[in-house]
A = this chain, B = another copy of it.
Amino acid sequence: MAPKSSIFYNAHHSPIGAFASFTLGAKGARGGLGIELPQPANHNVYIGLQSVDGEFIDMLPFYAGAGQDDPAARFQVEQVADEGIKEARTTVATPKLRAFHDSEISRELLACTDEWRAGDLVVRIISPVTPLPDPSISVVGAIKLAVLPAILVEVEVDNRINSDARKAIFGYVGADPYSAMRRLDDTMPGYAGVGQGTQTAIVAQSNDVGSALGFSVDDILAIDNPDNCKFGLGSTGLLTAIAAPGQISKFRFAVCFYRGGCVTAGLATSYLYTRYFQDIEEVASYALDHFEQLRVMAAGSDMRFAPAHLSQDQRWMLAHSVRSYYGSTQLLDSDGDPLWVVNEGEYRMMNTFDLTVDQLFFEMMLNPWTVRNVLDQFVERYSYEDDVTEPGSDAHHPGGMSFTHDMGIGNVFSRPGYSSYEKFGLRGCFSHMTHEQLVNWVLCATVYVEGTGDTNWCDRHLGVLQECLKSMVNRDDYRAEARNGVMSLESTRTSGGAEITTYDSLDESLGQARSNTYLAVKCWAAYVALHHILHKYGLGEVAAVAHRQAKLCAATIIAAARDDGQLPALLEGNHPSRIIPAIEGLIFPLHTGCSGILGTEGEFAQLAEVLRKHLRAVLIPGVCLFDDGGWKLSSTAKNSWLSKIYLCQHVARKVLNVNGDEVTKSADGAHVQWLQDEANGYWAWSDQMVAGVAMASRYYPRGVTSCLWLNEG
């Protein structure tokens, strides 16, 4: 059965840090204006243009019932309409909704602009992709523009062939359970707007747009007394623009979000944008006042994120994943300090550390201070000390500092020192990720320091880096002579269970932390980065420890290579699994100032060579390729994660110089197909694909690893 791909997939259209999304693209009432939701808002969105004959409003299919019409029935309706035109024109007939045919609709998705064309209608939904200034040190104007919790919509009507005016409509039926729909005209003289309570709104200037509430769009289109547009009980809010005859008209709308007051429990915080905008009315007027500036900025970002060296498939995945990332971002104000949170898509876990380390590269490109902000949160509130144990033994040995898996879930900060995710006494999903998160802190910190040159911060955290090194070494083996650079002891936080990795839903090929090849290479990268940075500080002794561990680790990995070039997934035993993410950790030397070590003359050239051979050996059908050419992260699991694939594709090309269709063209084709499959498309960008079906980690931010592709030009 051939997969059904379509342009009718949901995409996020999100402000930065507002944990909000105008999700749109899937047919039916499956998009909408959502704040803090783990899925699309699932309400009707009405966007359409009156037909030339005036009898219909031709609609984009974003409302219940759209696109489910029998095409034959639709034809009959048109016949009837044709026969009735004369009468209708004289009795001020109410135009009826009808969905455009799929074949009449085209779409182009860029990082900022999502453009829909249908008939004489063009709808451009414009979201920001722009550096977020550090609110602690930046000027207000720049911050306001970046944190503005609104996105823009430009509706263009080509009415040149027509001698009558035509209505363009834009509206919605809000899904908030707590408050009613309203017209913002009442509180914003000079504007026309519809919204729900204090939280969402679509607003335009009222010189060319009018607003109305009603029980349905049909209700509103049938209003004959204009005063009845002001009816307050309607659950449907609709803006109507009149496109003059004989010309092209453009109408501008701001789609706005606002949540005031304290929004989180556990730790009380508010949205940082509430510093600058007192209510959604201020958001709307600011957005419309700065429409042109924001549009130009968006056009620039569209170009930046679609460079010539990337294929169409790559550009599309990059744009789509960046959108999903922003939909999960939340910039909070904690007692006057900025607090950056990326929520974990459908799970809404806050600053899940194994996502942070992947999203790192995107944040380093745009706003490195958010990396620092999250690292500081981990140190201050979400670090802990443990002991370690050998599997099968009760004896405790010194462990050290590590960090929690996350900081909470769904606007609830977890208690200090503990994540919301990690449970005790387990060996699989929901167990602790102590070693991996420790490595993640080291990697994020060293990438941050290398990328920013923020020596002040590094000075202050030199102690933490050394603690982390000690903690890593302690997890290798409590006997110095037994160390091989790879994790072999379990945190006592597991209460006799076993640590896992971010790949929690995969089998032990990727899910088990101890002796895991994926984690080993990341450990090696962390040791390398620690050596580099500690050496710079003249801390020869500890730098040497890091260096020795890096060498031990590399040697252990190299020694595990089999004759066919493949590395086993686990460095212990004789595990049958083969995993692509063995190469994942190779990304870090490029970003921690150590890229030279992997070159042919570099200290770790042999490790690179072993991993190159491994990749070539596993990237074949039946091992780590699906039948459709998509990448299969583990040879023993059907569950494959796009964020990690994107990263490993980059490593393959950029670090290992492994190219070819199986790395890029045919793989990307399959991955695009997965995301555009009609069943998956509801969830915008999703990470965990089980044989191409989005089964978990949907509506997810992690795909911005695709930003690494920008470095391949």
| A interface residue numbers (CB < 8 A to B) | 35-37, 175, 177-182, 186-187, 195, 197-198, 224-225, 227-228, 230-233, 260-266, 268, 279, 347-349, 408-412, 414-415, 418-421, 423-425, 430, 495
Contacts and interface: CB of A to CB of B under 8 A. Distances in A.
A374 B103 CA distance: 57
Given A233-B421, A421-B232, A411 B262 contact: no
10 contacts: A36-B179, A179-B411, A180-B348, A186-B266, A186-B415, A197-B410, A198-B263, A227-B495, A231-B423, A232-B419
Given A263-B198, A268-B279, A411 B225 contact: no
Given A225-B424, A261-B260, A279-B268, A408 B179 contact: no
A659 to B, nearest CB: 41
Contact of A418 (B187, B230, B262, B412): B230
Given A197-B411, A232-B421, A262 B265 contact: no
B225 A425 contact: yes
A212 to B, nearest CB: 12
Contacts of A180: 348, 408-412, 420
A420 B197 contact: no
Contacts of A263: 198
B424 A228 contact: yes
A410 B213 CA distance: 14
Given A37-B178, A265-B197, A408 B231 contact: no
A320 to B, nearest CB: 24
Copy count, this protein chain: 2
Prevailing SS type, chain A contact patch = loop
Contact of A414 (B36, B177, B186, B262): B186
A424 B223 CA distance: 10
Contacts of A268: 279
Contacts of A182: 265-266, 412
In this complex, the member of A180, A263, A348 whose beta carbon has the largest number of chain B beta carbons within 10 angstroms is A180
A424 B232 CA distance: 12
Closest 4 interchain pairs by CB?
Answer: A261-B261, A232-B420, A180-B410, A179-B411
A177 B177 contact: yes
Given A179-B412, A415-B186, A424-B225, A198 B232 contact: no
Given A35-B178, A410-B180, A411-B179, A225 B421 contact: no
A421 B233 CA distance: 6
A36 B178 contact: yes
A228 B186 contact: no
Given A35-B178, A409-B180, A412-B180, A424 B227 contact: yes
A276 to B, nearest CB: 16
Contacts of A423: 225, 227-228, 231
A353 to B, nearest CB: 15
Contacts of A230: 415, 418
A275 to B, nearest CB: 14
Nearest to A198: B265
A175 B177 CA distance: 10
A262 B261 contact: yes
